[in-house]
Chains A and B, each alone.
Chain A
Amino acid sequence: MHSPRFVAAALTPAFLFLSCFYLYPILFNVGNSLTDTTLFQLKNGGEFVGLANFAELLSSPDFFRVLWNTVFWLTFVGVSTRVLLGLALALALNSRIIERMKVRTLFRILILVPWATPPIVAIVIWRWMLDARVGELNKLLLALGFIDQPIAFLGTAAWVWPALIVIITWNTLPLMALSFLASLQSLPEELVEAAAIDGASPLQVVRYIYLPHLKPTIIVMILMSTFWTFNNFVYVWLTTGAGPGYYTNVMATEVYIKAFIDGRLGYSSAVGVVMALLMGAFGILYMRIVTQRSRFGGVM
């Protein structure tokens, strides 16, 4: 056993680091959210307004639309799409057909390409592909006769969210697929062979062997992906600028718009605090699941 003094000394650097780079910014932001600081008052600071920013935020009809966009479209639809497609891709890559065709390595390299592409590059590529004037997708649809007028995918209500989900999924799907694939490869081959001997259909193998084995990985990936997606700013802002109108405005872009376009830093900080609280709730859920799985000896 080490002495308490030694433990304190050992923990001090980490504590100082966390205080400087995590605790202080959080407290600063909370403090800022209680003021009416604007971008134009940065030098002088704002005045204390109590919880007025929070009251305004929570009573604003726009806030619930932003919350809906963030929770439903960006996070729920985005994460679900990635999980389902990731699973399908991992199962396909793990299949015997791919192995027999001797293309497993090639396919694994190929699915890494989108992941290796920086988000900004992916967004620029997709913006061009979806462009109504010169986009390849419109050219293809026009050539095939599916449409007679080009579609502004990023400028129409019906298409803008699906287009955004496609871009995010393309860029981030490989991580999901590779994580599931890694988990699948730790599955003893004998289990699948025994099931086949017992006459299990391929669907039953997936349902009763693969999915239970993948469950811990799926849980972790869903939770981690939820964190990344909920807080994500880059994809929405660079693809649509939160438009058309405020149609794709999410919490992260709302923070930016309020702070740097409307210039209301205090209000923007309040949005940030609410975001952090929501993520905190997710964090508690995440830690609970992790703790429970560790207690029961689950694979994490």
Chain B
Amino acid sequence: MTYTIFSTMKKLSNNAMRRVSYKLSAFSLMVGVFSTAFALFSPLAAAETNITFRYHDSEGPQMRSALDAFEKANPDIKVTMQRMSWGEAQQQYLREAAVGSAPDVVEIVYVWARPFSTAGVLRPLDDLIAKSPPGIKGWNDFIAADLATGRDNKVYAVPYATDTLAVLYNKELFKAAGISKAPSSWAEMRETSRAIYKKTGKAGFGFAAGTCGTPSIWFYLNSYWWSKGWALIEDAGGGKYRVGITPGQIAEGLAYYKNFLDEGDNPKAMMSACLLGAPEIVEGMVKGDIAMVSVPDFTALRIISTFKERFPGKPLPFASAPHPADVAGSKMHFGGRMLGISPNAKNPEAAWKLIQFLTQPEPAFTRFLTNYTPSQRTAVAMRSYPEGMSGFGEQLKTARSWGPYALGPVAIPLMWNATGRAAGSVFIGEKTPAQAAGELHSLISSELAKNQK
């Protein structure tokens, strides 16, 4: 049987197979010619640029919609969005950039731009800015432009969203405790919180007091210290920096916040929460279990929108105000995000187009990232705050840049972690405020001495 098949095939091969072979060759040649022509002349075949964009905030779907709009406006560019939590973002990017596999465009926080530029993991943007300036009124209109500039005076990132923390409070709980206005001094805040707890049984000033790499107590302590004119790191002039606080002053801040936990007006359960937008904070405000919190504007908007969804038609009980003030006024930081391009980006022009798109208020912020404020003075001045949010606008007027913290020689993550750990050990009673403050002061002083050349 097998033999018969083979012998038949052999007979066919001389004529039929040869004809088939000729036809196949001709077909292949035609395909080749058409493919080449298509590749050379068809507009559809224009080389498509793929860029990767790493985004860390929780508004992933909104950002994806913004990227879709960008792709529609730039059909030759496709953007792949990579997601990662802020907790892992810095180390992951540094590792990838060290071996040339970082995403083309990366979202970073304000204070990373300077150390990233020193580490050589961001591409200088001066040529791109000169060619086509970003934003509404060009580079000089950007907030925190100083933090985006490296030691070599080159620009390494573009600030795209700014925020600050303000006090969001529940007017009804305040009223129930016989209090008519937001506290304007630290002593008043302490007393307000205590009074609310005593009269209503609800938490007064609720703040996340837990420990992690990026604890929120860092912001509250700095707000306290800055308002009194103290700072962990301050500019000493001539490119030098110094520690601008004494151990006693550090201890004063630690003891101040510990007292809320000790007296119970910030529940001990808050020792389990660590981040600014922790569910304990958001849910506590929505349910009316906490009278006041200190949160970024986008978290406040989330609290307000959740309240509206859950209690439709009910009057909004929230109002906002700047943080308590002292001799230096009410102080909080300009927080925010920047966008940078990695040195390994193969298409920096396409990456730049994306950055330009995302730094324009229209449509990025008006249609997609509506909880955020563009990091440009013109945009901040134009921003209208919804009901209950006017305090954020006021706080932005007195907010300060991280300045020497970010530009000086002591890495912010180290200070942030160490401050949070010091607070944690004080809150659980493992160390006294004086002990923890002494250790923190000593650590920062030694890091400063070591790194300041």
| Contact A42 B94, CB 8 Å, known A157-B429, A246-B421, A261-B413 | yes
Question: In the complex, how many angstroms separate the beta carbon of A87 from the nearest chain B beta carbon?
Answer: 33
- Contact in complex: B413, A242 (CB < 8 Å): no
B98 at the interface (CB under 8 A from A): yes
Name A244's contact: one of B120, B210, B267, B413 (CB within 8 Å): B210
A245 touches B425 (CB 8 A): yes
Of residues 235 through 288 on chain B, the ones whose CB sits less than 8 Å from some CB of chain A are 264, 267-272, 274, 280, 283
Nearest CB of chain B from residue A44's CB, rounded to whole Å: 7
Q: How far is the CA of A260 from the CA of B91 in the complex (A)?
A: 6
Instruction: Verify A42–B211 contact, CB threshold 8 A.
Output: no
Once the chains bind, are A243 and B268 in contact (CB under 8 Å)? Answer: no
Residues of B within 8 A of A154 (CB): 271-272
User: Is B428 part of the binding interface, using a Cβ–Cβ cutoff of 8 Å?
Assistant: yes
**What residue in chain B is nearest A160 (Cβ atoms)?**
B428
Q: Would you call A132 and B269 a contact (CB within 8 A)? A: yes
CB distance from A258 to the nearest CB of B (A): 10
| Residues in A112-143 with C-beta less than 8 Å from chain B | 131-133
Decide: A244 and B280 in contact? CB cutoff 8 A: no
Contact A245 to B424, CB < 8 A, known contacts A39-B91, A42-B94: yes
Contact among B98, B118, B268, B421 with A245 in the assembled complex (CB-CB below 8 Å)? B421
A40 near B115 (CB under 8 angstroms)? Answer: yes
Chain B CB within 10 Å — which of A40, A131, A246 has the most? A40
| A-side contacts of B345, CB under 8 Å | none
Residues of B within 8 A of A283 (CB): none
Cross-chain contact of A156 among B118, B271, B280, B425 (Cβ < 8 A): B271
**Shortest distance in angstroms between A55's beta carbon and chain B's nearest beta carbon?**
14
Report the separation of the CA atoms of residues A261 and B414 in the bound assembly, to the nearest whole angstrom: 6
Write out the residue numbers on chain A whose beta carbons fall within 8 Å of the beta carbon of B283.
133
Q: Please state if A155 and B280 are interface contacts (CB–CB under 8 Å).
A: no
Smallest distance from the beta carbon of A40 to chain B beta carbons, Å? 4
Q: How many residues of B contact A (CB 8 A)?
A: 43
B77 interface residue, CB < 8 Å from A?
Answer: no
Contact assessment for B411 and A244 in the assembled complex, using a CB-CB cutoff below 8 Å: no
Contacts of B91 in A (CB 8 A): 39, 259-260
Minimum CB–CB distance for B193 against chain A, Å: 17
B422 at the interface (CB under 8 A from A): yes
B397 interfacial by beta-carbon distance below 8 Å: no
> In the complex, what residues of A have CB within 8 A of residue B98's CB?
42-43
Q: Is B388 an interface residue (CB 8 A)?
A: no
Separation of A157 and B411 alpha carbons in the complex (Å) = 29
Distance (Å) between the CB of A7 and the closest chain B CB?
A: 38
Are B424 and A243 in contact, with the CB atoms below 8 A? yes
Is the pair A244, B425 in contact by a Cβ cutoff of 8 Å? Answer: yes
Q: Is B272 within 8 A of A132, CB to CB?
A: yes
- B287 to nearest A CB, angstroms? 10
Note all chain B residues with C-beta closer than 8 A to A151. Answer: 268
Q: Determine which residue in B272, B414, B426, B429 has the highest number of CB atoms from chain A within 10 A of its CB, and name it.
A: B272
Our pick among A43, A131, A240 for the contact of B121 (Cβ within 8 Å) is A43
Distance from A26 Cβ to chain B, minimum over Cβ atoms (Å): 20
- Asked whether any CB of chain B lies closer than 8 Å to the CB of A294, the reply is no
* Interface pair B268/A149, CB less than 8 Å apart: yes
Q: Does B307 contact A (CB under 8 A)?
A: no
Q: Is A262 at the interface (CB under 8 A from chain B)?
A: yes
Q: Which chain B residues numbered 118 to 136 have a C-beta less than 8 Å away from chain A?
A: 118-121
Bound-state CA distance A262–B431 (Å) is 22
Sample (15) of A-B pairs whose CB atoms are under 8 Å apart = A39-B119, A133-B269, A133-B283, A151-B268, A155-B272, A241-B213, A243-B212, A243-B421, A244-B210, A244-B430, A245-B427, A245-B431, A246-B424, A257-B417, A262-B413
Q: Beyond the given A42-B119, A131-B272, A155-B269, could you list 14 further A-B residue pairs with CB under 8 A, ordered by the A residue number?
A: A40-B115, A40-B119, A42-B95, A43-B121, A132-B267, A150-B269, A152-B270, A240-B211, A241-B212, A241-B213, A245-B211, A245-B428, A246-B424, A262-B411
